Amino acid sequence: MKISYNWLKNFVDFELNPQDLASVLTSVGVETSVVSSDCCWTNVVTAKILDVKKHPGADRLSLCKLSDGSKEYQIVCGAKNVAAGQVVPLAKIGASLPGNFVIKKSKIRDVESEGMICSAKELGLKKDSEGILILDENVKIGSALEDVFMENDSVLEIEIATNRGDCLSHLGIAREIGAKLHKVISMPTIKTFDVASLNSVKVKSDLCLRYMGSIISGVKVGPSPKWIIDALEKSEIRSINNIVDITNYVMIELGQPLHAFDISKISSKEIIIRNAVELESIIALDGKKYQLDPEMLVIADNQKPIAIAGIMGGEYSGVDEKTETIFLESAIFDAISIRKTSKKLNLSSDSSYRFERCVGWDIAEFALWRAANLIIDIAGGKMEAKEDLQTIKYEKTKIALRIEKMTKILGYDIEENEIAEILRFLGIDLQPRGERILCSIPSWRNDIKIEEDLIEEILRIKGYDSVPCPKKHVNTVCTTNSSAFIPKIVEKFRTKLNGLGFCEALNYSFLEIKELEKFNLNPYYKISNPVSKENEVLRPSLLPGLYRNLLLNIKQGSETVTLFEYGKIFGELGEKKAFAVIMYGKVWQEWWMWSDRKINSSYDFYFAGGIIRNILPFDDFVIAQNLTSNSYYHSGQTAAVVYKGEYVGQFGVLNPLMTDDVNGDVLYFEIDIEKISGDYVEKKSQYKAYSKFPIVKRDISIVSNKSLRFSEIEEVIKSIKKSGDILKEYSLFSVYFDESKLGKDKVVYSLRLSYRNSNKTLTDEEVNKDMYALLEKLDINLGVRLRE
């Protein structure tokens, strides 16, 4: 909301400049900033031309003498329209004008000039202008030019909390200033009218709490006076005609929305406030047709609605140039009803905005008379009749405030006298009752409902700055055992992957349905009110998001994309935490030292598997065959991660059919953190003593069938390791298959075996014996033999 600084001064007497006023209002919770006037100059003042002479050295130039009231200036001017007696904008030495133009002391044809008289173009006010800008001769000289244009006013931009409907007017803001500065508010003087009751208004719904109106005849509709147009403009309200403008003027002045109907356009003399009926509709002032329903409140004549109550009037009952008699409405409608209707119709207005936030009971009456006074003053006319119907009996809210309670919440004492003074300046009536103070809340403060609200009032007016702020001892209260946002196991993954050059991604939890379909994933949670397609469903896997990131990064030129993400996924069993890694592209970057070597290996199944094994922190995790692999994996290149006998994750090459939009394999790993983080404790393996005696290494090559899984051979090796206790390590250093040399389905594995005894140096015989035991067992169990 935008309001005028000067207008506030009509209500409350204060000395603060606009900037300081904004700070004071912000300090009481009304966020305020001064709207910068649109001027793009500094140091330009109004000055009067006292004398104009010809420049001694140039025919086209004039030598002017100007005064700003305190000093005289000699200015050289080239404009033709310059004349003595004019009031003009004078850019003084040091002034800056649009286009980084700074005025300096200068000599023009040997005559000194102490500034410049500006044209509208030079001030950036118009694109083109002829000659200097001549101002109204009544303008006070010596004023800053921007103040002349703003008529010495400032516009304040104000943000109001949802509970402070009472602040949506100049009066409301003035009350806040008064409360803070301990000043009493002065209201505009109004004349009330002693006229007959209208007797033709019927309130037929309790969604209307109070309905007041008056009939004014003989008005002359026309343009508003300048002061009203200017006032509305500062609050960004367009001028329509004097009657409509006055209703708006009073609304921004006092906070009460008003509406004026042309009585001649109402088909009966009756005005009925009722709920709309099924299939009823109205064309509102915005020219649009609105379909109404029985939950909505309307103002109607005996045939049809003439206004959507509290939101917008009907088009055909509005005031226009031909209007002579008006019905002026000032009412209080149920805030929730207005809000619901406004939401349903997707129609809001300055009026509905205020009604939703509650308007004050008493101000409705005052505002009606204020507007009637202004209408009769400005548009003429005569007050004919009035009405005031109330469907509830209004009573002020009463709250007992306990000083003790206040101290308990605030943590320090505030003097009782000070409390009383603050409350009084907020318009609250006080009656001390022993330990308590009984407070009667003024009608405009609908937000004050409980003791705590009063405590906030006292504190905010006293100032949050005044609350002591001692350095507190840290008292640890053990609420939960956790002290980190990220589970330890995930922290481990993140640290290791970061060291490998992987980056952490964060994706939206939403996906488009077609992104799921790409990977054969089912949506378990659909959003019922998505703002766009991107928000259709919740992700059942981290894959589509990371894949989207992959495509983006390939597109921007990355040859390697390695990302990981930790977050919630939403599957069959609800939401759960998951961690995922995506790997694509070259493993190594190009490097000049390697230019003669072939370093072009890409992320593939075994390399990625090595990374997965490396980040899984201890022996409880085992890589196993993926028996229930997701269909987004290449069915032959995927494996499972098993934790304590339970399948917790899968990795592998993504199904090439689904990733045909990139060249080469995409590797993906996803693990269910929910299943492990709960019982994961940082586990350190027991220290194992190691031997001081030398190692003996033997290389063997064995021939196996391709159909035999290597892990079966490993099982045999492990059993020998266990029984002989001297085979300590083995590694696979070559895998070789060549049909022409080995025959179909044969494969040669070369293994390096490392033997060591913990108590003595091994002899050849001992090593041979153990190795033969291995070869024999391989032969007997698996038919795997030493290569000839």
Partner 1 sequence: MNVEQVVVEAMKKIRNAGFEALDGLRAEYLGRNGCLTQILKSLSQYSVDEKKKIGSAANIAKNTIDSEIEKRKEKLKKNLFDEKVKKEVLDCSESFYFPFSKGGFHPVVQMIQEMSSVFVSLGFSVAEGPEIETEWYNFEALNIPQNHPARDIQDTFYLEGSNSLLRSQTSTGQIRVMEQYEPPLKVIVPGKVYRNEASNASHSSIFHQIEGLSVDENITFVDLKSVLTEFSHIFFGSGLNVRFRPSHFQFTEPSAEIDIQCPFCKGKGCRVCKNSGWIEILGCGMVHPNVFKAVNYDPEKYTGYAFGIGVERIAMIKYGIDDIRLFYENDLRFLKQF
- Shortest CB 568 distance to partner 1, Å: 6
Q: Smaller CB distance to partner 1: residue 417 or 483? A: 483
- Shortest CB 592 distance to partner 1, Å: 7
- Using CA atoms, how far apart are residues 475 and 537, in angstroms rounded to an integer? 43
- Using CA atoms, how far apart are residues 92 and 178, in angstroms rounded to an integer? 39
- Using CA atoms, how far apart are residues 145 and 124, in angstroms rounded to an integer? 13
Q: Smaller CB distance to partner 1: residue 371 or 497? A: 497
- Shortest CB 340 distance to partner 1, Å: 6
The Cα angle at residue 622 between residues 621 and 625, in degrees rounded to 5? 140
List beta partners, residue 90. Answer: 45, 117
- Shortest CB 79 distance to partner 1, Å: 35
Q: Smaller CB distance to partner 1: residue 333 or 755? A: 333
Cβ within 8 Å of residue 477, ≥6 positions away: none
| Beta strand segments in 241-381, E | 258-262, 271-275, 281-283, 289-291, 297-300, 305-308, 312-313, 326-333
Give phi and psi for 161, each to the nearest 5: -65, 155
- Using CA atoms, how far apart are residues 433 and 449, in angstroms rounded to an integer? 19
- Shortest CB 93 distance to partner 1, Å: 26
Query: CB burial class (10 A; 0-12, 13-18, 19+) of residue 770?
Result: buried
Q: Smaller CB distance to partner 1: residue 72 or 590? A: 590
Q: Smaller CB distance to partner 1: residue 70 or 529? A: 529
Closest CA to 367 of 444, 449, 456: 444
Cβ within 8 Å of residue 261, ≥6 positions away: 299, 306, 307, 313, 317, 318, 319, 326, 327, 329
Give phi and psi for 210, each to the nearest 5: -150, 135
Q: Smaller CB distance to partner 1: residue 556 or 759? A: 556
Other beta carbons within 10 angstroms of residue 738's beta carbon come to 10
- Shortest CB 137 distance to partner 1, Å: 36
Q: Smaller CB distance to partner 1: residue 464 or 710? A: 464
- Shortest CB 282 distance to partner 1, Å: 23
Closest CA to 313 of 298, 326, 302: 298
559: helix, strand or coil? coil
Q: Smaller CB distance to partner 1: residue 357 or 756? A: 357
- Using CA atoms, how far apart are residues 124 and 89, in angstroms rounded to an integer? 13
- Using CA atoms, how far apart are residues 542 and 261, in angstroms rounded to an integer? 60
- Shortest CB 449 distance to partner 1, Å: 10
Closest CA to 750 of 699, 698, 784, 697: 699
- Shortest CB 564 distance to partner 1, Å: 9
Other beta carbons within 10 angstroms of residue 348's beta carbon come to 16
- Shortest CB 525 distance to partner 1, Å: 5
Q: Smaller CB distance to partner 1: residue 184 or 474? A: 474
What tokens does 626 get? 């993926």
Q: Smaller CB distance to partner 1: residue 268 or 663? A: 663
Q: Smaller CB distance to partner 1: residue 591 or 606? A: 591
- Shortest CB 388 distance to partner 1, Å: 28
Query: To which H or E segment does residue 187 belong?
Result: none
